[in-house]
Homo-oligomer: A and B are copies of this chain.
Amino acid sequence: MAGKITKVLVANRGEIALRVMRALRELEIPSVAVYSEADREAAHVLFANEAVCIGPAPSTESYLRIDKILDAVRKTGADAVHPGYGFLSENSAFARALRDAGIGFIGPGPEAMEMMGNKLTARAAMIAAGVRVIPGSDGALGDPQEALRLSREIGFPVMLKAAAGGGGKGMRVVRDESEMASALEATQAEAAKAFADSAVFVEKYIEKPRHIEIQVLADRQGNAVYLGERECSIQRRHQKVVEESPSPIVDEAMRREMGEMAVMVAKACDYESAGTVEFMVDAHRDFYFLEMNTRLQVEHPVTELTYNVDLVKLQIAVAGGEALPFRQDELVPHGWAMEFRIYAEDPATDFLPSTGKILRLREPGGPGIRHDSGIYEKYDVPIFYDPLLSKLVVYGQTRVEVIQRARRAFTEFVIAGIRTNIPFHQWLLRQPAFEKGDFDTHFIDTHFRPEYLKQDEALPFVALAAATLAYHQHGRRMNFAGLQAFSRRPSKWKLAARKEAVTRRQS
């Protein structure tokens, strides 16, 4: 597809669909929502100019169905698709199908997706391009001697990992040479038992790992720039919860070094559009390429605030064939931004998901507050999808101001009817280690316990008083109403009903 984009189908739901549609509306490009049967009332359907139902609730029967989305594109005459994140956003078959149909895809080409989609080929390609990756063996280890030799090269401590493993299983830290033989034997045995595959490889063990990523933007003309870093180490079960930009540990020199490496990654895969290069950073601030996310990230707003750009509108411009409107040296960050993901899950009960109707919604306002939301008052949160409700993004001059402002914002924020992780954020914002920026990806697991959650000490009395008054006054009213019941003037509707009742009784 080439030339001006005139109508865009957003192949997603929730807050990111709204985020994209807001950019489209600013550009006066009509937006098309697609929705599953469970999403008829979803915020993105209400916001869009047009809306098409694409199937039953499970995403495998709707949001993940390439054929149905192509049908909706044809039906509405959209000439481009924005995939958001998740769902089909990194599916190269989808990008290819659109290209074949002559429809624009607001994102990178399928080739870049494929290259970055497989961790092993991505790693190999990046090594070839001169990008620093976590040092390790590229294949399975044979005996303890080979393991020792490689580990000496890498430097202790190292991590033994089952090749077929994942999710933290089949991993063992080896701190010095003496531990190697027994550790290798144990890991191989464990791997054989758990995954029916005893292959084990060795990798540098990253102590106090931080997850820091670089936003890149590239156009069809071959320009590529970086827009600083995002610190994403506050995670729970590999799910990011709070992100910020800049990172408390990245200075200008490190930003330039990481940024230039990220641009190298983007160029190595002929990247177009917005993308993110993820790095693992160790306690010495050494960083290693982890993977590239070939899409817009959930946490893109913190970059938008510090660089005063609109990444979605830039994606749309690039997809329309325009060149990037700035050079690297024009991109200077200002201030500090933090994003708090609002999940429908209860931190008091091990983050159990919570769904239901949002009975009351009161959003924070005033200076430095951005709310990217996918909900509204009276919305019934369905059970079928990701629990991300919205993102509260806070901006200020310094990190201290952002923390103070976020605390203030959470005193204003009311989401009632379902449980959310807001109490978790309130806890986090009072942790001295978090305030100092001293944390790694293990922070939540090591520091958080549900019993640490606190409510204002005045709450019990205030709630008791309010409930007692409500109950008392309701009772009074009901008694009064009962006394009045027979003396009321019948309304037109009641008369009609009475007439109908009489008629039926007669027939």
Contacts and interface: CB of A to CB of B under 8 A. Distances in A.
Interface of A: 18-19, 22-23, 25-28, 47, 301, 304, 308-310, 334-335, 362-363, 365-373, 376-377, 396-397, 401, 404-405, 407-408, 411-412, 474-475, 478-483, 485, 493-494, 496-498, 500-501, 504
Oligomeric state, in copies: 2
Contacts of A475: 493, 496
Given A26-B404, A365-B372, 16 more contacts: A18-B366, A22-B367, A23-B367, A25-B408, A26-B408, A304-B367, A310-B368, A310-B396, A365-B370, A365-B373, A366-B371, A480-B497, A482-B494, A482-B496, A482-B501, A483-B497
A367 to B, nearest CB: 6
Contact of A334 (B334, B363, B397, B485): B334
A401 B365 contact: no
Contact of A401 (B19, B26, B377, B404): B26
Contacts of A404: 26-28
11 contacts: A18-B366, A22-B366, A22-B367, A47-B412, A366-B370, A366-B372, A475-B496, A478-B497, A479-B496, A479-B497, A481-B497
A377 B414 CA distance: 13
Contact of A310 (B26, B401, B479, B497): B401
Tell which of A18, A25, A396 has the most Cβ of chain B within 10 Å: A25
Contacts of A367: 19, 22-23, 301, 304, 310, 370, 372
Nearest to A393: B367
B397 A309 contact: yes
Contact of A482 (B370, B371, B397, B500): B500
Contacts of A504: 483
Contacts of A401: 26, 310
B478 A501 contact: no
Tell which of A365, A373, A404 has the most Cβ of chain B within 10 Å: A365
A126 to B, nearest CB: 32
